[in-house]
Amino acid sequence: MREVAILGVGQTAVREQWDRSIRQLAVTAGRAAMQDAGVEKVDAIYVGNMTSGVLNQQMQLGALIADHLNQHGAEAVKMEAACGSAGSAMRQGLLAVASGELDAVLVIGVEKMTETPFKETTAALTTAADADYEIVHGVTFVGLNALIMRRYMHEYGYQRNDFAPFALNAHSNGANNPNAMFQKAISQRTYEKGRIVADPISLFDASPIGDGAAALLLVPAAKAPNAVRVAGSASATDTLAVHDRHDMLWLKAAEQSAKRAYAEAGVVPEAIDLFELHDAFSVMAALSLEATGFAERGQGVRFAQEGEIFPDGRIPICTMGGLKARGHPVGATGLYQLAEATLQLRGQAGAAQIPDAKIAMTQNIGGSGATIVTHILERP
């Protein structure tokens, strides 16, 4: 298998993009990545997206985007794994280049979700849960994560306000990211006054949806010796329904995919300089830190309280705002994480730059932990 490098990066801001269609968002990010790489023709385009068929009445995103990028003839498909769609598309693009089958692959994550009524958008997102045993009871992902957070608090003795560092870190970092939806730091008092949306989850424990697209251009590392390299990649699954898991407070797929990625990259958690984790909800950030080996079981919140997740801490997370402040255009999120990690390793993260970052990890979660994709990137 060949080593693979990230030669180009492209992003749009995450916003309510009223004046831009899903194709325009995807093409903007894709074209930016190609221009960044200095590449005019690609062999394939892999698109991560979850809801285009439901919310935008548009399928066949692969062919649509290839058409408008003037890449006629290229292989082009859409990949869906709920909120893990972009990370999954990245993995397929990576495997295609690593295998030697393709030499230039454009991977794009895109989602447009703010123009539809709230109930329709929520219903579309809920399709990532178990239709027969979860959705039928009217549960939403906020509701599912509220149940998980409540159980976490019960088992480990935390209060809701103990989760504040995750939101404070994300918003502080988002203030340094011009592509973030929220570019203003918040205080502990602001967090504590946050409106409860599904007890114990408040507005500051849940990520906002948004419209946006991010893209990477992948090539063999031998052709781009000075580009950021993909050192490790793995994907794993768990049960779709939370109640079917042996342990609802352990992200088994996060543990498995991280272990495989560590092994492939030849590193241990202590070697990672920054971690773009999937903080769709505060409790998921805590569980991710525990499952990937940065905190002991039940200590993810304590780890955050001790300041270890902040830019000057042991493992900076969500360095450009994460899902919470950058926003969560679900099918694009995994590629925003990878794009931001790449910029960090290039030294191009601006005011959000983590000094001397050499190795970065990203983890993209689909559903409530049913699909989890981990990537480790390394500076040349």
CA dist 199 and 274 (Å) reads 31
pLDDT digits (tens, 9 = 90+) for 305-342: 999 999 999 999 999 999 999 999 999 999 999 999 99
C-beta atoms surrounding 116 within 10 Å? 16
> Which whole number is the average pLDDT over 80-97?
98
pLDDT digits (tens, 9 = 90+) for 353-372: 999 999 999 999 999 999 99
CA dist 303 and 294 (Å) reads 9
Cβ–Cβ < 8 Å for 45, 31:
no
278 flagged as catalytic: no
Report the number of distinct structural domains present in the chain: 1
The whole-number pLDDT of residue 296 equals 98
Find the distance separating the first CA and the last CA of the chain, reported in whole Å.
18
Using alpha carbons, select from 116, 161, 85, 64 the residue that is nearest to residue 338: 85
C-beta atoms surrounding 57 within 10 Å? 7
Percent of the chain surpassing pLDDT 70: 100
- At 121, the pLDDT band (50, 70, 90 cuts) reads very high
CA dist 253 and 278 (Å) reads 13
| 14 domain-assigned | yes
| 174 domain-assigned | no
CA dist 315 and 206 (Å) reads 21
pLDDT digits (tens, 9 = 90+) for 219-240: 999 999 999 999 999 999 999 9
| 250 domain-assigned | yes
| 9 domain-assigned | yes
pLDDT digits (tens, 9 = 90+) for 125-164: 999 999 999 999 998 999 999 999 999 999 999 999 999 9
| 74 domain-assigned | yes
| 123 domain-assigned | no
CA dist 209 and 113 (Å) reads 7
Read off the CATH number of the domain in which 12 is found. Answer: 3.40.47.10
CA dist 340 and 348 (Å) reads 9
For tokens 């447009």, name the residue.
Answer: 112
User: Which residues touch 73 (CB under 8 Å, ≥6 apart)?
Assistant: none
Domain span at residue 254 reads: 4-117+207-378
83 flagged as catalytic: yes
Q: What is the 3-state secondary structure (H, E, C) of the chain?
A: CCCEEEEEEEECCCECCCCCCHHHHHHHHHHHHHHHHCCCCCCEEEEECCCHHHHCCCCCHHHHHHHHCCCCCCEEEEECECECHHHHHHHHHHHHHHCCCCCCEEEEEEECCCCCCHHHHHHHHHCCCCCCCCHHHCCCHHHHHHHHHHHHHHHHCCCHHHHHHHHHHHHHHHCCCCCCCCCCCCCHHHHHCCCEEECCEEHHHECCCCEEEEEEEEEEHHHCCCCEEEEEEEEEECCCCHHHCCCCCCCHHHHHHHHHHHHHHCCCHHHCCEEECCCCEHHHHHHHHHHCCCCCCCCHHHHHHCCCCCCCCCCCECCCCHHHHHCCCHHHHHHHHHHHHHHHHHCCCHHHCCCCCCEEEEEEEECCCCEEEEEEEECC
Residue 6's DSSP bridge partners are 218, 228
Cβ–Cβ < 8 Å for 242, 285:
no
| 178 domain-assigned | no
Using alpha carbons, select from 230, 264, 265 the residue that is nearest to residue 98: 230
> Which whole number is the average pLDDT over 284-291?
98
Of 171, 278, 318, 328, which is the active-site residue?
Answer: 328
Q: CA separation (Å) from 259 to 4, 235, 266? A: 20, 10, 10
Cβ–Cβ < 8 Å for 251, 283:
no
pLDDT digits (tens, 9 = 90+) for 174-214: 999 999 999 999 999 999 999 999 999 999 999 999 999 99
Of 83, 171, 278, 318, which is the active-site residue?
Answer: 83
The residue type at 31: R
Cβ–Cβ < 8 Å for 180, 311:
no
Both tokens of residue 170? 């994300």
Strands 359-366 and 274-276: parallel
pLDDT digits (tens, 9 = 90+) for 239-287: 999 999 999 999 999 999 999 999 999 999 999 999 999 999 999 999 9
CA angle 55, 330, 183 (to 5 degrees): 115
| 180 domain-assigned | no
CA dist 24 and 131 (Å) reads 32
